[in-house]
């Protein structure tokens, strides 16, 4: 028997962090999947234990201010793209207001640190959301394009094909075929 799972990595990360960090008997608040506020000073030895534990599970502690801001940019973009109440504003305005820096500064910093542009990161996230919506929701491409603030289905399709190598319609057919095969295997 196969189980098909839908994974929300943010919820998973938060639950994991809550579980692991509570064993240290420290007061903390998880702001989001990549930001923890400790409400008390952490002894050096405990800090090293926390760092080792987190690294063991693929978490890296970011200590450089530029990298922290880049992570906040990524988090804001993911929040913007994956939110059910996605703001209907330009991403440049959204990021500048949310992070209280000019978009020019954020864009230059992001490119310097990641070697890609904010626009490319947004496109990648939108395509991931599109795949998620195709797999998990019964939405038409028109509905998906509207939901993700694309100007048209053609624009969504072009970005999808440029990123994945196939059209969203072809992706839908692949998913449908896989479901049919999985259903036959269950019977």
Weakly modelled stretches of the chain, pLDDT under 70: 1, 86-87
pLDDT of 122:
95
pLDDT of 139:
84
Cα separation, 124 vs 43, whole angstroms? 40
Model confidence, pTM: 0.74
pLDDT of 86:
64
pLDDT of 16:
87
pLDDT of 1:
62
pLDDT of 87:
66
User: 31-45: buried (b, 16+ CB within 10 Å) or exposed (e) per residue?
Assistant: eebbebeeeeeeeee
Report domain extents, the chain: 7-61
pLDDT of 115:
94
Question: How far is Cα of residue 75 from the mean position of the Cα atoms in its chain?
Answer: 7
Cα separation, 24 vs 36, whole angstroms? 14
């Amino acid at each position: 028997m196969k189980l098909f799972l839908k994974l929300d990595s943010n919820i998973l990360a938060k639950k994991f962090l809550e579980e692991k960090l509570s064993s240290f008997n420290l007061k903390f608040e998880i702001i989001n999947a990549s930001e923890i506020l400790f409400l008390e000073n952490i002894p050096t030895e405990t800090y090293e234990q926390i760092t080792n534990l987190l690294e063991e599970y693929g978490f890296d502690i970011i200590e450089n201010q530029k990298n922290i801001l880049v992570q906040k940019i990524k988090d804001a973009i993911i929040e913007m793209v994956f939110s059910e109440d996605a703001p209907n504003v330009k991403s440049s305005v959204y990021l500048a207001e949310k992070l209280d820096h000019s978009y020019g500064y954020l864009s230059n910093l992001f490119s310097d640190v990641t070697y890609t542009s904010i626009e490319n990161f947004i496109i990648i996230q939108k395509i991931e959301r599109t795949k998620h919506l195709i797999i998990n929701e019964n939405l038409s491409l028109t509905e998906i394009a509207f939901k993700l603030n694309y100007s048209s289905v053609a624009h969504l399709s072009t970005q999808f094909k440029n990123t994945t190598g196939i059209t969203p319609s072809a992706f839908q057919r692949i998913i449908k075929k896989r479901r049919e095969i999985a259903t036959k295997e269950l019977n």
